[in-house]
Structure 1
């Protein structure tokens, strides 16, 4: 499966037109289809559920994106949640009731977002555009062209909207007008995974994980480099062996940045200067989650780890969901939640990693990490369904 992703990324890098890129993506999928010699997904084990989970509401948010390898993750902003479909539909729902507040059909091949900030809903497209909509109405505010496809969610704060394209460029635009304010350019290796981590805006800076295994901090107002930190060093004879993408979104909290790379490390660096605090050999592209004391990691084998945020030592590991293509883990109350390739949502005890509950929300893979808003957990499937869950009846 990973070889398929590598080849798709190379083809996409060499193809200028989104329609060509996506038709070639489907062709490559067909070449490898049922012939992949990969580990079969672990069979689900029976267990005694210790917590009830119920559906609060659900809604269709757009077209099926299973064949496109995109992670259109909803965004909670205050009392509403924004969601997007791969063929251009963007919707705003009330977090508590699921009431549809507005919906627009952009007609665009959406691949990144939604993001938010400065009164905007921000999206990226396969046609190398960044779109800004009014958060209250969905009306388009501005649209700008960038150098390549945008797979990560843009975001905005302090008058600057930040977006990242798959060719290694990070842009800063005026939130009011869309006029470009600055650009940062990084070198992209020959082969990368299909995906990019979303830039994180914090404390007047932008934190971004790059395809070359580096983490960079930029000044939000002008894009100047504050520091760079090497998280993983490419090694091996082949380009495939040397892939060290940072596809997991960095987590910034309590003055540190947590980050994970593919075929590299899980690491923590100081937010102020990028100085490494600890690192641990571990490969992840699905992503990471955290609570006050623990860092949670879904590794490349779909094993879930709980690590001490202070030093990276292990608390527990769950290996009973191997090869189920788990999402990044999300802390929710006393539980850790992950979604899998068959539409199951797994609730794990935060202290032990033991199964606490399981619920199937549909038949489509859950690629995006679950999202928390108060007492509600949101699950977005690649089949275009948004489901709100809560603990209790």
Structure 2
């Protein structure tokens, strides 16, 4: 009798746990998105191994009517923007970590073994390879003479564009623990501006590589190293006059090119700010989206309906903000008031049977370690919005 009661108690406990799990799943029901944004897929191609479950953001690059994109397996692909037709493919025979960037007729790709490769935009032919101090997980940036890249060990390295020879290298002190990520440096006429795991935004002389000024966006505070993380993982951005940057466990700030702080507001994030319609938009670390006035830093609106969905960086497209989540949805949000105006799911065809009376996402349950979310930054183009999924699909979305 005792064992029978014990089994009954165990069964009740198991059922309660199952019901709690179902309730937890149902708590993530998508908010209404029946607004004016009507997204359609123009074309969609698979590039191979996407970011997958590894925490990488393989951002593509657009030059006129051509898209350049990479996969983690080591392949660089040129695609016609309007049609999605492949123009050429280059296998670098090493895993790729940091996406692709371009300047004039050159592409720059960072490999897992700490190498930066320069390729021709015409056919992908290799021009040079240069060893870096460590691996780089963000895109490089370039001007007419040099290419600049930040590695995970806290260094910024400048290389000559024609040969790959090192011009200078600047190393900043690193904390005991940091978030594994860096941003792409912002290049101005005189400066290379980038963020560090110390919570500082640092401006380096573009010619000499020496610091010209720094601004603190986050102050380490807390008992544990986790609580003291203040990384500036996103890239600083500029409207041509003012520089905007943000830190995890820190602030979002507007800074002049002379290093003077114009305004600072609370805004903990892993991502970069987005600028549009006189506002600064930011995905916060709790997956809410905050809008700030570009000139004063005043908070305009806060979108909280997508919290907990593993959002990426917001991208301005038309009068909307687009943001991807870990389930493979792209949400379109009004830049004016933060309302959700539309949505589209970008996943491969269902791997399993359709479950009746279940959310659409149930049909694409993660299988064998696959990840169908969207982590890479999206790109707004003249033809529409470019989205690169964790499953390796590159898609062009237009809004009706």
TM-score normalised by L of structure 2: 0.85
Counterparts in 2 of 1:135 and 1:76: CA distance versus 1, 3 Å:
same
CA contact (8 A) 2:36 2:341 kept: yes
The residue number in structure 1 matching 2:378 is: 370
Counterparts in 2 of 1:300 and 1:41: CA distance versus 1, 3 Å:
farther
1:98 to 76, 81, 84: 84
2:390 to 353, 378, 382: 382
The residue number in structure 2 matching 1:155 is: 141
Deviations 1:205-259 (CA, angstroms, capped at 9, x unpaired): 2111111111111222332322211121111122111110011111111311111
Match of 1:148, SS?
A: coil
Q: Could you tell me how far apart the structure 2 residues matched to 1:159 and 1:173 are?
A: 9
Cα RMSD (Å) of the superposition? 1.7
Q: Could you tell me how far apart the structure 2 residues matched to 1:65 and 1:73 are?
A: 10
Counterparts in 2 of 1:64 and 1:374: CA distance versus 1, 3 Å:
closer
CA contact (8 A) 1:93 1:100 kept: yes
CA contact (8 A) 1:118 1:156 kept: no
Matched, 1:192 2:178: yes
Task: Using the TM superposition, give the Cα deviation of residue 40 of structure 1 relative to its aligned residue in structure 2, in angstroms.
Answer: 9.5
Task: Using the TM superposition, give the Cα deviation of residue 172 of structure 1 relative to its aligned residue in structure 2, in angstroms.
Answer: 0.5
The residue number in structure 1 matching 2:337 is: 352
The residue number in structure 1 matching 2:41 is: 55
Q: Could you tell me how far apart the structure 2 residues matched to 1:268 and 1:366 are?
A: 28
Q: How many residues align?
A: 354
Counterparts in 2 of 1:323 and 1:336: CA distance versus 1, 3 Å:
same
The residue number in structure 2 matching 1:232 is: 218
Structure 1 residues 205-284: aligned runs within 5 Å: 205-271=191-257, 273-284=258-269
1:336 to 300, 321, 339: 321
Q: Could you tell me how far apart the structure 1 residues matched to 2:33 and 2:150 are?
A: 43
The residue number in structure 1 matching 2:310 is: 325
The residue number in structure 2 matching 1:21 is: none
Task: Using the TM superposition, give the Cα deviation of residue 64 of structure 1 relative to its aligned residue in structure 2, in angstroms.
Answer: 3.4
Q: Could you tell me how far apart the structure 2 residues matched to 1:40 and 1:124 are?
A: 41
CA contact (8 A) 1:41 1:323 kept: no
Q: Could you tell me how far apart the structure 2 residues matched to 1:232 and 1:53 are?
A: 38
CA contact (8 A) 2:136 2:152 kept: yes
Match of 1:301, SS?
A: coil
The residue number in structure 1 matching 2:55 is: 69
Task: Using the TM superposition, give the Cα deviation of residue 204 of structure 1 relative to its aligned residue in structure 2, in angstroms.
Answer: 3.6
Task: Using the TM superposition, give the Cα deviation of residue 284 of structure 1 relative to its aligned residue in structure 2, in angstroms.
Answer: 0.4
CA contact (8 A) 1:160 1:220 kept: no
User: Gapped runs of 5+ residues in structure 2?
Assistant: 1-23, 349-371
Task: Using the TM superposition, give the Cα deviation of residue 262 of structure 1 relative to its aligned residue in structure 2, in angstroms.
Answer: 0.4
Structure 1 residues 113-152: aligned runs within 5 Å: 113-152=99-138
Matched, 1:203 2:203: no
CA contact (8 A) 1:318 1:353 kept: yes
Q: Which has the larger radius of gyration?
A: 2
Q: In terms of mean alpha carbon deviation, does 361-370 or 303-312 score higher?
A: 361-370
CA contact (8 A) 2:52 2:392 kept: no
CA contact (8 A) 2:81 2:383 kept: no
Q: Could you tell me how far apart the structure 2 residues matched to 1:126 and 1:60 are?
A: 22
Match of 1:141, SS?
A: strand
Deviations 1:29-54 (CA, angstroms, capped at 9, x unpaired): xxxxxxxxx99973212342322211
CA contact (8 A) 2:57 2:375 kept: yes
Q: Could you tell me how far apart the structure 2 residues matched to 1:332 and 1:231 are?
A: 28
Q: Could you tell me how far apart the structure 2 residues matched to 1:230 and 1:59 are?
A: 42
Deviations 1:73-114 (CA, angstroms, capped at 9, x unpaired): 111122211111011011111222222121111111110120
Q: Could you tell me how far apart the structure 2 residues matched to 1:329 and 1:297 are?
A: 7
User: Gapped runs of 5+ residues in structure 1?
Assistant: 1-37
CA contact (8 A) 1:104 1:138 kept: yes
Task: Using the TM superposition, give the Cα deviation of residue 266 of structure 1 relative to its aligned residue in structure 2, in angstroms.
Answer: 0.9
